[in-house]
């Protein structure tokens, strides 16, 4: 069942999402070669709890961490570990909060130090596709219009692999609500978008083939060919002429640019 939000509920979801954005922005100041994702996960949990919220991911269907930390060929749902980040790595940080009973959910992929030009391009195109998808999230369009815009830019135009098995989703009082929001599809297909629908749009785009597999931890999703994958995510609300983006990359991008250990996409 799809749950359309009132204006008051949208504002509560916005507060939760902006805390997610602030959490990822805080981690952007800490990213460097030698830091571990376990250290980053602990910082994120403390930050979220210090701001009066709880981590939405920790304990969700048994997931043991505050953040999904997905490095290089890991697409999503990566576990935090004691392995140190290295120059040339990319790491997707996906996290969520529960504040005032509503969920926030957003993700951003960072580049540590110098990365290969092909990977730089993957990150750039994946982020662009997120905003192209968001442009389609307006009253009267359909889910397939969002999906088509993402696939057209990443797969058709640039030849990347669009993950099929994982999708965006509704956001509200639960982390994963209906409807699903695939990153591939046909224009004019799927659910008709109505005002007040809050969804997370999250392109998961592989440098190589679209095929993936699940690691032995039963969570981490990895590209089958071992090539890198990028992931960017905003939670948005469908409106009449322009989608309302409830999360924000503004502080994240500012901290990314200010951190000499990061390549700014």
Residue 190 exposed, middle or buried by CB count within 10 Å (0-12, 13-18, 19+): buried
Q: Could you state, in order of their start, the residue ranges of all structural domains in the chain?
A: 7-263
The pTM of the full predicted model, rounded to 2 decimals, is 0.98
pLDDT in tens, 28-83: 999 999 999 999 999 999 999 999 999 999 999 999 999 999 999 999 999 999 99
10-residue block means of pLDDT along the chain (265 residues)? 97 98 98 98 98 98 97 98 97 98 98 96 98 98 98 98 98 97 98 98 98 98 98 98 98 98 90
Query: In which residue are the tokens 């009267």 written?
Result: 140
| Euclidean distance between CA atoms 48 and 97, whole angstroms | 7
Which residues, in sequence order, are bridge partners of residue 138?
A: 239
Contact 222, 212 (CB under 8 A): yes
CATH code, residues 7-263: 3.90.230.10
Pairing of strands 244-245, 90-99: unpaired
For 204, half-sphere exposure in the C-beta direction (CA atoms, 13 angstrom radius) is 28
Q: What is the pLDDT of residues 220-239, one digit of tens each?
A: 999 999 999 999 999 999 99
């Amino acid at each position: 069942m799809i749950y359309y939000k009132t204006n008051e509920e949208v504002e509560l979801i916005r507060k939760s999402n902006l805390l997610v954005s602030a959490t990822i922005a805080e981690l952007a100041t800490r990213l460097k070669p030698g830091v571990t994702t376990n250290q980053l996960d602990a910082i994120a949990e403390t930050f979220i709890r210090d701001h009066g919220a709880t981590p939405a991911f920790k304990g969700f269907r048994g997931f043991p961490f505050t953040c999904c930390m997905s490095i290089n060929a890991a697409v999503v749902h990566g576990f935090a570990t004691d392995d140190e980040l290295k120059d040339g790595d990319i790491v997707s940080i996906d996290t969520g909060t529960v504040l005032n009973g509503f969920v926030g959910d957003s993700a951003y992929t960072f580049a540590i130090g110098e990365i290969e030009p092909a990977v730089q391009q993957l990150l750039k195109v994946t982020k662009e596709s997120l905003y192209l998808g968001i442009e389609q999230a307006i009253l009267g369009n359909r889910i397939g219009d969002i999906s088509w815009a993402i696939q057209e830019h990443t797969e058709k135009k640039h030849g990347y692999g669009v993950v099929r098995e994982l999708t965006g989703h509704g956001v509200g009082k639960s982390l994963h609500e209906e409807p699903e929001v695939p990153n591939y599809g046909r224009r004019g297909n799927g659910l008709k978008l109505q005002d007040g629908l809050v969804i997370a749009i999250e392109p998961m785009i592989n440098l190589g083939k679209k095929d993936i597999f699940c690691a032995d931890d039963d969570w981490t999703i990895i590209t089958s060919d071992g090539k890198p994958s990028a992931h960017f995510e905003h939670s948005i609300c469908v409106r009449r002429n322009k989608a309302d983006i409830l999360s924000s990359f503004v502080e994240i991008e500012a901290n990314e640019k200010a951190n000499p250990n990061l390549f700014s996409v």
